Amino acid sequence: FNEISPSSLVEHSRHMGLGRPTGIDYYGTEAGGSLPVPGNVSAAINNAIGQGDVQVSPIQMVRLVAGVANGGSVYQPYLVERIGGTDFTPLKTEFQPEVVDDINLSEQTLDIVHKGMCGVTQDEDLGTGFSSFGDAAYIACGKTGTAQTNRYPNAWFVAYAPADNPEIAVVVMAEQSREGADVAAPIVRRIMDAYFKQEWYGYPLWWNENEYVPVDIPVGATGG
């Protein structure tokens, strides 16, 4: 950090599609987020893990993870508006995928990220997503997140699958909730099970609780 510009972290993040509108909102109301320029090493580390004043949207995160899965390309996202015509006939819309940026990471670095994300779901001892994906019929690669927001955190999980030849990327963010591994990861598992036509993963333990109680994360603590 001391040898490069403090703004380099922000500039690199923007290439990944973070901190700026994706263009998915046709009405111009999409929030771009916030990527503050770190003033010192501690702030840079804090920002790198999504703490502090960093703000990103779910669509930004899933587009970034899709870029990791496809080898580094950041694509223009599109919103599905309809799945059938007024006469119940299928709609057919043709468009060409549009690459709008590049993650700009070396093949070696992307491989490290890929292996780390796969470890989240496959490592029985250290994987925060293992409890949700360890017994899946496919290998998903993902990342849990527990973002501090006042008293209760936002639960995150973003993933792609299958590991060797990715077809789908999914993100779930539950506001004012619990840790990402407890809330968001099980929901992503159910979505992916449906996509791969597998028997759906069971409901999370908290689903049937009489009273849903968010987790209270102390200021300064981090979660997974």
Q: What is the predicted pLDDT for the residue at 215? A: 58
Burial of residue 119 (number of CB atoms within 10 Å: 0-12, 13-18, 19+): middle
Q: What is the predicted pLDDT for the residue at 214? A: 61
Average pLDDT per consecutive 10 residues, the chain (224 residues; last block may be shorter): 80 91 80 87 84 88 96 91 71 81 94 98 96 96 88 90 97 89 93 94 69 56 48
Q: What is the predicted pLDDT for the residue at 178? A: 84
What CATH architecture does domain 1-105 belong to? 3-Layer(aba) Sandwich (3.40)
What CATH architecture does domain 106-224 belong to? 3-Layer(aba) Sandwich (3.40)
- Phi, psi dihedral angles at 117 (to 5 degrees): -70, -35
Q: What is the predicted pLDDT for the residue at 188? A: 96
CB atoms within 10 A of CB 29: 7
Write the DSSP assignment of 118-177 as a string of letters.
Answer: HHHHH-TTT-TTHHHHTT-SS--EEEEEEE--TTSPEEEEEEEE-SSS--EEEEEEESS-
Instruction: Give CATH 3.40.710.10 domain extents, the chain.
Output: 1-105, 106-224
Q: Looking at this protein, which amino acid is placed at residue 133?
A: F
The owner of tokens 């960093």 is 54
Q: What is the predicted pLDDT for the residue at 223? A: 47
